[in-house]
Amino acid sequence: MRLTPKELLFLFAIGAAGGLVGDAGNVQSGVTRYLDDSVPFIWESALWFPLLVGLATAATGELRLRLAPPRPGFDLRQGLGAIAAVVGIYALTSIVGDDGTESVALLAALAVLTACVLADGRAAIICGLAAAIGGPLAEIAIVELEWSEYSASNDRLLGVALWLIPLYFAFGVAVARIAEVLVARRQPSRS
């Protein structure tokens, strides 16, 4: 492991917390609905949801560090900004109302802007692409298992929302940046 247990736990925690906030928005606005009420719930989410998002966050951070050395220089603003960008984009998926052309275009534009600001190059983009492929596939599996479903106006990607692709891409790129900031924090630069 390139990340310490403490750093992995931190990534798990912010991933789980961010997942809970975003999912509460999706559930309350009717974008998604849990079909299996037999599992324990936290806020609006089935317990397994924040766990999965937390694990994906820790795994993506670890992936980033195995791909290339992180940039030096601790910058709290970049870390906080990365978290805020993903929380904001996730919240926006509950507001746009559907996964039509304009919604997907807006969210894709925001995902690209997130990468333009945060990505260091190939390594961050790979993290973004891995999340953009793996995330929607996992959600399609969850829908196939009938654990949850997307609303009829948000199911253009094999039953899940098409905007999951830009949402997860932004997630992957942002987590890559957070992992860099965590490593830089071990020895803060004196600049």
- Residues at the site binding a copy of itself, with contacts judged by CB under 8 A: 21-22, 24-26, 28-29, 77-78, 80-81, 83-85, 87-88, 90-92, 94-97, 100-103, 105-106, 108-110, 112-113, 115-117
Q: Give least dist CB 89 to a copy of itself, A.
A: 8
Angle value at C-alpha 65, between 61 and 68, nearest 5 degrees? 140
Q: Give least dist CB 9 to a copy of itself, A.
A: 22
- For a copy of itself, the closer of residues 44 and 149 by Cβ is 44
Q: Can you give the chain as a three-state secondary structure string?
A: CCCCHHHHHHHHHHHHHHHHHHHHHHHHCCCEEECCCCCCEECCEECHHHHHHHHHHHHHHHHHHHHCCCCCCCCHHHHHHHHHHHHHHHHHHHHCCCCCHHHHHHHHHHHHHHHHHHCCCHHHHHHHHHHHHHHHHHHHHHHHCCCEEECCCCCCECCECCCHHHHHHHHHHHHHHHHHHHHHHHCCCCC
- For a copy of itself, the closer of residues 75 and 149 by Cβ is 75
- For a copy of itself, the closer of residues 20 and 183 by Cβ is 20
Q: Give least dist CB 19 to a copy of itself, A.
A: 12
- For a copy of itself, the closer of residues 62 and 128 by Cβ is 128
Q: Give least dist CB 52 to a copy of itself, A.
A: 19
- For a copy of itself, the closer of residues 116 and 187 by Cβ is 116
- For a copy of itself, the closer of residues 56 and 96 by Cβ is 96
Q: How far apart are CA 119 and CA 81, in angstroms?
A: 13
Q: Give least dist CB 87 to a copy of itself, A.
A: 5
Residue 77: half-sphere exposure toward Cβ, Cα within 13 Å: 2
Q: Give least dist CB 161 to a copy of itself, A.
A: 14
